[in-house]
Chain A
Amino acid sequence: MSSVALDRVSKQYGATTVIDGLSLAIDAGEFVVFLGPSGCGKSTLLRMIAGLESVDGGEVRIGERRVDHLPPGERGVAMVFQNYALYPHMSVRENMAFGLKNARIPADEIDRRIAAAAESLEIAPLLDRKSTQLSGGQQQRVAIARAIVKEPELFLLDEPLSNLDAALRMRTRLEIAQLHQRLGTTMIFVTHDQVEAMTLADRIVVLKGGQIEQVGTPMDIYLTPRTEFVATFVGSPKINLLPVTVSATDGVARAQLANGTEIDTAVPAEGLPAGMMTLGLRPECVRPAPLDSAALHAKVQVVERLGERTLLHVALDDGTLLVAEDAGLSSIRTGDRIGLRIAPERAHLFDADGIGHQPARRG
């Protein structure tokens, strides 16, 4: 397994710059997820590492080797494609053997590797079937097996779960996590699904418009989003964003809503820019409270009962809409007037440029 280093890589399509001077260091054995909306460049970046797209500027290293000028077959990289890309006219075994034959690996070694991979992915009975005769889930496993047998330094996965149905997706997600534990190979996984990112990644790289928004562990990303974009992209339902004016009180910022309500935060007051800011509150930090003791009052418009929790879509007195959360067995109904309390240590502030200012962390 190898580390991966990207040093100010860039790429243009004609006049448009799709990746702009991006740098990233990935440790050997890490599971990194490239997360972002469509068009953010995550797949392009992955393909640049694989060698399927050219690198117009900067360097790509895998391990100690500089690889950005090498053809895909010489980089020691294996890839699992979104549409599996199995060779249709070949059997499963031949699919898996193709790359090994090209690398001139002796036949008995090829057989050994295929048998081992087939067993660990439970596809041994399928080995002699044509790849077109398999179900979607089976094809996905074969695609993964084909990558494993190459014993690569780096595993690349390009939205491999997108074409699977929900049940299969969860199961395969688990298997990929177990695979990583077993093999320990460095893995880069591309997805637009934040659940996949949160559950699988050692670190997440959030991308937007060809640039990195934030790199961090899932919990880092979730608890301390560096930008407004990251805060809204990760977390379901989406974080509540409210325009506020900020004043300093006892060294911490105090946010004032348009209707005058004041909310305490744990964000240090010093260094805060002047002007309007945006207050970010995740729904799970906005909880129902008795009317008389709560700072915020709201009317419940829609109640969504999910079983393990209840989402309350509420409107404040001035019409601002919020999503709050209550326990699964909540007895609140549509039309109720409730009070809301905010956990100040979970409040985020974002300035006019979208940069987040983080609450001071305890401990």
Chain B
Amino acid sequence: MRFGRTHPIALTLIVVAAVLMMVPLVWVLALSFKANAALMADTNSVFHVPYTLANYRTLFGDGQVFRWIMNSLIVSLGMTAGVLILSSLAGYGFARLDFPGRPVLFVIVLLGLAVPEQAVIIARHQMLSLVSMHNTYAALILPGLSAPFGVFLMTQYFRAIPRDIDEAALLDGASRFKVFWKVLLPLTVPAQATLGIFTFLSAWNDYWWPLISATNKQMFTLTVGIASTQMNFAQTEGLGFLMAQAVLAGLPILIVYLFFQKYIVQAVAGAAGR
């Protein structure tokens, strides 16, 4: 941490930059409170009253957005739960147990970190087409469960726990699973929080895979839904309505961010550092 006064120029610049960062969001917020007709006539009308909640009323009445939010919630929560379970089990296995081929398998998982989505997405799509699994929650959740980052994180975390706790538990007659479940897992809560938040956020914001897998409007996640309505706007007719959608899509996440900021930042930074 630095102490002492910040140079006034630096301070001014950064405040200006911060304002610039917020302006687009404020703009969208403002637009959402104007009637579509007014905006179509003249966008500058955003600076004047009257403001209206009409866009939001239409939004809530439509109900489609809520379907999308529900889908996103199911997929994100499902993926988060799945990743936490699979990664914790695998992390314990790699960190604490011995089995034939362990080092090789671990290296293979690590190599998986280098594989970008583009290299596997076409084949994944084909695979799930073959078993007609598209447009299901399972299809949306499954690919995300394979991310090696979770296994890597949990393995490192388990490794850092002193072994004599395992040994004390073994002497206390615990089976390997009991050592995992009752003794070690409760000690990994910080890692679980980081991994859970990161996975939830990735799942919520995922775009390409849900775009090609959930092609049915009913199965759209929020991210895809917002994209779909965007496609349809060439004219500023539904501008206010569109903005209301954007606000509904972005605001909850921003609020969650404000509350869990510490964890979210930690999670994203930790993931990047891998």
Contact = CB atoms under 8 A, between A and B. Distances in A.
Interface residues of A, number: 24
Interface stretch (A85-93, A191-199, A243-251, A265-273): A85-93
A279 interface: no
A223 to B, nearest CB: 37
A150 B172 CA distance: 8
Interface string B155-189: 00000001011011111111000100011001100
A138 interface: no
B186 A81 contact: no
A50 B171 contact: yes
A13 to B, nearest CB: 14
A21 interface: no
Interface in B43-96: none
Contacts of B164: 81-83, 85
B168 A79 contact: yes
Contact of A99 (B162, B167, B172, B187): B172
A102 interface: yes
Interface in A77-136: 77-79, 81-83, 85-89, 98-99, 102-103
Interface in A145-189: 146, 150
A334 B269 CA distance: 66
Interface residues of B, number: 16
A157 to B, nearest CB: 13
Contact of B186 (A51, A74, A89): A89
B172 A98 contact: yes
User: Which of B165, B173, B183, B187 has the most CB atoms of chain A within a 10 A radius of its CB?
Assistant: B173
Interface string B183-215: 100110000000000000000000000000000
B178 A72 contact: no
A79 B172 CA distance: 9
Contact of B183 (A71, A87, A150): A87
Given A87-B183, A89-B187, A102-B178, A72 B162 contact: no
A73 interface: yes
B187 A78 contact: no
Given A73-B174, A79-B167, A89-B187, 18 more contacts: A50-B171, A52-B167, A71-B170, A72-B170, A73-B170, A73-B172, A78-B171, A81-B164, A85-B162, A85-B168, A86-B165, A86-B168, A87-B169, A87-B183, A88-B165, A89-B186, A98-B182, A102-B172
Interface of A: 50-52, 71-74, 77-79, 81-83, 85-89, 98-99, 102-103, 146, 150
